[in-house]
Copies of this chain bind each other. A is one copy, B any other.
Protein backbone atom coordinates (compact mmCIF):
# COMPACT_ATOMS: atom_id res chain seq x y z
CA UNK A 1 0.00 0.00 0.00
CA UNK A 2 1.22 3.51 -0.83
CA UNK A 3 -0.21 7.00 -0.28
CA UNK A 4 0.80 9.60 -2.88
CA UNK A 5 1.06 12.70 -0.77
CA UNK A 6 1.05 16.42 -1.51
CA UNK A 7 2.73 18.14 1.43
CA UNK A 8 0.99 21.18 2.92
CA UNK A 9 -2.02 21.26 0.59
CA UNK A 10 -5.28 20.87 2.55
CA UNK A 11 -6.56 17.57 1.14
CA UNK A 12 -3.37 15.53 1.49
CA UNK A 13 -2.98 16.89 5.02
CA UNK A 14 -6.56 15.93 5.87
CA UNK A 15 -5.76 12.27 5.23
CA UNK A 16 -2.45 12.37 7.14
CA UNK A 17 -4.13 13.91 10.21
CA UNK A 18 -6.91 11.31 9.97
CA UNK A 19 -4.36 8.48 9.88
CA UNK A 20 -2.56 9.81 12.99
CA UNK A 21 -5.89 10.06 14.84
CA UNK A 22 -6.64 6.45 13.83
CA UNK A 23 -3.15 5.26 14.77
CA UNK A 24 -2.52 3.91 11.27
CA UNK A 25 0.83 4.12 9.48
CA UNK A 26 0.92 4.12 5.66
CA UNK A 27 4.05 4.56 3.49
CA UNK A 28 4.02 8.01 1.86
CA UNK A 29 5.30 8.88 -1.60
CA UNK A 30 5.82 12.65 -1.96
CA UNK A 31 4.61 14.46 -5.06
CA UNK A 32 5.84 17.99 -5.80
CA UNK A 33 2.64 20.03 -6.17
CA UNK A 34 4.54 23.31 -6.62
CA UNK A 35 6.07 21.81 -9.77
CA UNK A 36 2.55 20.58 -10.77
CA UNK A 37 3.79 16.96 -10.66
CA UNK A 38 0.22 15.89 -9.72
CA UNK A 39 -0.94 17.04 -13.15
CA UNK A 40 1.83 15.18 -14.99
CA UNK A 41 1.42 11.98 -17.02
CA UNK A 42 2.55 9.59 -14.27
CA UNK A 43 0.05 10.86 -11.71
CA UNK A 44 -2.91 11.46 -14.05
CA UNK A 45 -2.52 7.84 -15.16
CA UNK A 46 -3.40 6.98 -11.53
CA UNK A 47 -5.89 9.81 -10.95
CA UNK A 48 -7.32 11.47 -14.07
CA UNK A 49 -8.57 14.31 -11.81
CA UNK A 50 -4.91 15.35 -11.39
CA UNK A 51 -5.38 15.76 -7.65
CA UNK A 52 -3.86 14.44 -4.45
CA UNK A 53 -3.90 12.38 -2.31
CA UNK A 54 -4.07 9.03 -4.14
CA UNK A 55 -4.07 5.68 -2.33
CA UNK A 56 -2.63 2.70 -4.22
CA UNK A 57 -3.43 -0.72 -2.77
CA UNK A 58 -1.04 -3.67 -3.09
CA UNK A 59 -2.98 -5.09 -6.04
CA UNK A 60 -2.76 -1.75 -7.88
CA UNK A 61 -6.32 -0.64 -7.07
CA UNK A 62 -6.54 3.16 -6.87
CA UNK A 63 -8.68 5.11 -4.42
CA UNK A 64 -8.86 8.89 -4.74
CA UNK A 65 -10.83 11.60 -2.90
CA UNK A 66 -9.65 12.29 0.64
CA UNK A 67 -12.87 11.30 2.34
CA UNK A 68 -13.12 8.06 0.34
CA UNK A 69 -9.58 7.19 1.44
CA UNK A 70 -10.49 7.98 5.06
CA UNK A 71 -13.61 5.81 4.83
CA UNK A 72 -11.53 2.92 3.48
CA UNK A 73 -9.36 3.01 6.60
CA UNK A 74 -12.36 3.53 8.89
CA UNK A 75 -14.00 0.42 7.42
CA UNK A 76 -10.90 -1.71 8.11
CA UNK A 77 -10.13 -0.12 11.50
CA UNK A 78 -13.42 1.04 13.06
CA UNK A 79 -11.87 2.41 16.29
CA UNK A 80 -11.65 5.21 17.18
CA UNK A 81 -14.78 5.91 15.11
CA UNK A 82 -14.29 9.21 13.27
CA UNK A 83 -17.40 8.88 11.06
CA UNK A 84 -19.81 7.91 13.87
CA UNK A 85 -21.46 4.67 15.03
CA UNK A 86 -25.23 5.19 15.39
CA UNK A 87 -27.44 6.35 12.50
CA UNK A 88 -27.79 9.81 14.08
CA UNK A 89 -24.04 10.14 14.71
CA UNK A 90 -23.26 8.98 11.17
CA UNK A 91 -25.70 11.53 9.70
CA UNK A 92 -24.64 14.40 11.97
CA UNK A 93 -20.93 13.90 11.30
CA UNK A 94 -21.56 13.61 7.55
CA UNK A 95 -23.67 16.79 7.68
CA UNK A 96 -20.97 18.83 9.42
CA UNK A 97 -18.08 17.31 7.48
CA UNK A 98 -19.87 18.29 4.28
CA UNK A 99 -20.94 21.74 5.49
CA UNK A 100 -17.37 22.54 6.54
CA UNK A 101 -15.79 21.10 3.43
CA UNK A 102 -18.21 22.62 0.93
CA UNK A 103 -18.99 25.92 2.64
CA UNK A 104 -15.69 26.73 4.33
CA UNK A 105 -12.68 24.78 3.09
CA UNK A 106 -13.63 24.79 -0.59
CA UNK A 107 -14.88 28.40 -0.41
CA UNK A 108 -11.56 29.52 1.09
CA UNK A 109 -10.04 27.52 -1.78
CA UNK A 110 -11.93 29.65 -4.31
CA UNK A 111 -10.64 32.86 -2.68
CA UNK A 112 -7.10 31.43 -2.68
CA UNK A 113 -7.17 30.09 -6.23
CA UNK A 114 -8.79 33.12 -7.83
CA UNK A 115 -7.09 35.98 -5.98
CA UNK A 116 -3.58 34.74 -5.09
CA UNK A 117 -0.89 35.68 -7.65
CA UNK A 118 0.95 32.43 -6.88
CA UNK A 119 -2.04 30.41 -8.15
CA UNK A 120 -2.19 32.05 -11.61
CA UNK A 121 -0.34 29.15 -13.24
CA UNK A 122 -2.44 26.40 -11.62
CA UNK A 123 -5.89 28.05 -11.86
CA UNK A 124 -6.75 28.85 -15.48
CA UNK A 125 -8.62 31.10 -15.91
CA UNK A 126 -8.26 33.01 -12.66
CA UNK A 127 -11.49 35.00 -12.15
CA UNK A 128 -10.71 37.57 -9.42
CA UNK A 129 -14.35 38.71 -9.26
CA UNK A 130 -15.36 35.14 -8.38
CA UNK A 131 -12.60 34.91 -5.76
CA UNK A 132 -13.82 38.12 -4.13
CA UNK A 133 -17.47 36.98 -4.23
CA UNK A 134 -16.45 34.13 -1.91
CA UNK A 135 -14.92 36.27 0.86
CA UNK A 136 -18.23 37.17 2.55
CA UNK A 137 -19.26 33.50 2.40
CA UNK A 138 -16.15 32.51 4.37
CA UNK A 139 -16.93 35.16 6.99
CA UNK A 140 -20.58 34.09 7.24
CA UNK A 141 -19.73 30.42 7.74
CA UNK A 142 -17.02 31.13 10.31
CA UNK A 143 -19.55 33.11 12.30
CA UNK A 144 -22.10 30.28 12.10
CA UNK A 145 -19.49 27.75 13.19
CA UNK A 146 -18.50 29.98 16.10
CA UNK A 147 -22.12 29.98 17.31
CA UNK A 148 -22.33 26.20 16.92
CA UNK A 149 -19.16 25.73 18.99
CA UNK A 150 -20.48 27.88 21.86
CA UNK A 151 -22.19 24.78 23.29
CA UNK A 152 -19.78 22.02 22.26
CA UNK A 153 -16.13 21.05 22.72
CA UNK A 154 -15.98 19.27 19.34
CA UNK A 155 -18.05 19.97 16.25
CA UNK A 156 -20.26 16.92 16.71
CA UNK A 157 -20.33 16.73 20.50
CA UNK A 158 -17.89 15.28 23.02
CA UNK A 159 -15.53 13.38 20.74
CA UNK A 160 -13.36 14.25 17.78
CA UNK A 161 -14.69 13.34 14.33
CA UNK A 162 -13.62 13.80 10.74
CA UNK A 163 -15.60 17.08 10.78
CA UNK A 164 -13.09 18.52 13.27
CA UNK A 165 -10.20 17.45 11.08
CA UNK A 166 -11.66 19.13 8.01
CA UNK A 167 -12.47 22.17 10.16
CA UNK A 168 -8.96 22.56 11.57
CA UNK A 169 -7.46 22.32 8.11
CA UNK A 170 -9.98 24.80 6.72
CA UNK A 171 -9.09 27.35 9.39
CA UNK A 172 -5.36 26.76 8.78
CA UNK A 173 -6.04 27.34 5.07
CA UNK A 174 -7.13 30.94 5.81
CA UNK A 175 -3.42 31.80 6.27
CA UNK A 176 -2.12 31.14 2.72
CA UNK A 177 -5.46 32.49 1.41
CA UNK A 178 -4.77 35.73 3.36
CA UNK A 179 -8.15 35.71 5.10
CA UNK A 180 -8.38 36.99 8.68
CA UNK A 181 -10.26 34.97 11.30
CA UNK A 182 -12.04 37.69 13.33
CA UNK A 183 -10.71 37.74 16.92
CA UNK A 184 -14.24 38.04 18.33
CA UNK A 185 -15.04 34.49 17.16
CA UNK A 186 -13.85 33.19 20.54
CA UNK A 187 -15.44 29.76 20.36
CA UNK A 188 -13.89 29.12 16.97
CA UNK A 189 -10.47 30.21 18.23
CA UNK A 190 -10.78 28.07 21.40
CA UNK A 191 -11.74 24.98 19.40
CA UNK A 192 -9.02 25.60 16.79
CA UNK A 193 -6.35 26.00 19.49
CA UNK A 194 -7.52 22.72 21.05
CA UNK A 195 -7.25 20.95 17.71
CA UNK A 196 -3.80 22.43 17.04
CA UNK A 197 -2.61 21.10 20.43
CA UNK A 198 -3.29 17.49 19.38
CA UNK A 199 -0.28 15.46 18.18
CA UNK A 200 -2.07 14.86 14.85
CA UNK A 201 -1.99 18.57 13.97
CA UNK A 202 1.65 18.47 12.89
CA UNK A 203 0.99 15.67 10.36
State the A residues within 8 Å of B (CB). Answer: 48-49, 61, 63-65, 67-69, 71-72, 75-76, 86-88, 90-92, 94-95, 98-99, 103, 125, 127, 129-130, 133, 144
Contact = CB atoms under 8 A, between A and B. Distances in A.
A99 B129 contact: no
A72 B83 CA distance: 12
B65 A90 contact: no
Given A67-B94, A125-B129, 17 more contacts: A61-B88, A63-B91, A63-B92, A63-B95, A64-B99, A65-B94, A68-B95, A71-B94, A72-B87, A72-B90, A75-B91, A127-B127, A127-B129, A127-B130, A127-B133, A129-B129, A129-B130
A72 B91 contact: yes
A90 B77 CA distance: 13
Binding site secondary structure of chain A: helix
6 contacts: A65-B99, A67-B94, A67-B98, A71-B94, A75-B87, A75-B91
Contacts of A94: 65, 67-68, 71
Contacts of A61: 88
A142 to B, nearest CB: 13
A76 B63 CA distance: 27
Given A125-B133, A127-B129, A95 B64 contact: yes
A72 B93 CA distance: 11
Contact of A71 (B48, B90, B129): B90
Contact of A68 (B65, B69, B75, B91): B91
A175 to B, nearest CB: 24
